[in-house]
């Protein structure tokens, strides 16, 4: 006799229970941020169905729910993620309930988002942002001691390795090999890659690991988290964002600085220096080279500025219009 399926058929459970089972299924292959986004997206679909059972949902119901969200101000990128979450939920449901059809999504697309170039910092800004106190004449007015040591290590890793914020907070102590100068990172879909650690990142991590060893660590099972919050548990993304924003203000960087902007800066600066598109793809953990190619446009903008400033036929002559 076969065992019961992992999820109960939707005819016998509430929509809320079916959604909860789906979100829990994501734990093994997605980050906490992904689970939160998918949960919010699918909850929005449930609200738009007005109590209609999932087995009775048809293509026009999906279109109407998407249109409502668009009309309420949801942007194209958010809608694209939302539609992806709905598709994933229905694929999950269809595996345990034959009455659920995934074909209702055929031909449905989110509104096209305008293409935007990644917003990278200049090399000078990036270096000023992540420089340690020892490398600058600045005096920190934001924090000191253990927190400052932790933040310095986080900033060096974000810019020095180009990893995502979800990858940063997911790091464990065992992820770092200072002797080999490398770090094991789990990206989207729990795909593993190894990234090199530069000398500044190794120094900052070594200093943080020394401080971390003195801290009380909250037992949470599994490998111990590399970066800890004040209560001894794994740090959250909001703490990283606040710390980075405070550092940017302290260093006189007026534009908005956020963790993913350091990832953009890493890719842009490495590509400008090396010209190795495939290498940058590997470092970034991009599944498709097309995701990396967007940084070639930033590189072209940089080269265009160099041309305008240096080429004899590009420089304007005095008095010319």
Residues in CB range of 22: below 8 A, 6 or more apart: 7, 38, 42, 88, 89, 92, 93
Taking the C-alpha atoms of residue 235 and residue 225, their distance in angstroms, rounded to an integer, is 8
The sign one gets for the Cα dihedral 72, 73, 76, 77 is negative
Taking the C-alpha atoms of residue 76 and residue 82, their distance in angstroms, rounded to an integer, is 10
Q: What are the backbone dihedrals phi and psi of residue 185, each rounded to the nearest 5 degrees, phi first?
A: -125, 140
Asked if residue 228 lies in contact with residue 150, where contact means CB atoms within 8 angstroms, the answer is yes
Q: Measuring CA to CA, how many Å separate 166 from each of 34, 259, 273?
A: 9, 10, 27
Task: Please name the residue ranges forming H helices in 95-185.
Answer: 123-130, 145-161, 165-169
Give the residue numbers marked as catalytic. 164, 188, 260, 263, 286, 295
């Amino acid at each position: 006799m076969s065992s019961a399926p992992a999820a109960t058929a939707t005819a016998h459970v509430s929509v809320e229970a079916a959604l909860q089972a789906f979100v829990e299924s994501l734990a093994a292959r997605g980050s906490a941020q992904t689970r939160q986004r998918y949960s919010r997206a699918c909850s929005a679909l449930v609200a738009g169905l007005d109590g209609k059972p999932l087995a009775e949902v048809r293509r026009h119901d999906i279109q109407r729910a998407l249109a409502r969200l668009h009309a309420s101000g949801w942007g194209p990128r958010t809608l694209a993620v939302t539609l992806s979450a709905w598709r994933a939920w229905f694929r999950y449901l269809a595996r345990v309930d034959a009455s659920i059809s995934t074909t209702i999504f055929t031909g449905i697309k989110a509104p096209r988002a305008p293409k935007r170039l990644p917003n990278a910092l200049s090399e000078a800004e990036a270096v000023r942002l992540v420089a340690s106190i020892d490398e600058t004449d600045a005096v920190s007015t934001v924090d000191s001691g253990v927190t400052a040591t932790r933040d310095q290590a986080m900033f060096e890793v974000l810019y020095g390795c180009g990893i995502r914020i979800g990858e940063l907070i997911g790091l464990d102590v065992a992820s770092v090999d200072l002797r080999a100068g490398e770090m094991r990172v789990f990206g989207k879909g729990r795909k593993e890659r190894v990234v090199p650690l530069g000398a500044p990142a190794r120094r900052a991590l070594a200093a943080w690991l020394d401080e971390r060893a003195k801290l009380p660590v909250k037992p949470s099972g599994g490998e111990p988290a590399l970066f800890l919050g004040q209560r001894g548990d794994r740090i959250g993304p909001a703490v990283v964002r606040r710390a980075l924003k405070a550092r940017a203000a302290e260093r006189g960087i007026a534009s908005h600085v956020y963790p993913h902007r350091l990832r953009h800066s890493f890719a842009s600066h490495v590509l400008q220096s090396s010209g190795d598109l495939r290498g940058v793809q590997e470092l970034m953990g991009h599944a498709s080279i097309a995701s990396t190619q967007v940084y070639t446009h930033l590189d072209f903008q940089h080269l265009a500025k160099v041309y305008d400033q240096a080429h004899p036929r590009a420089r304007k002559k005095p008095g010319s219009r």
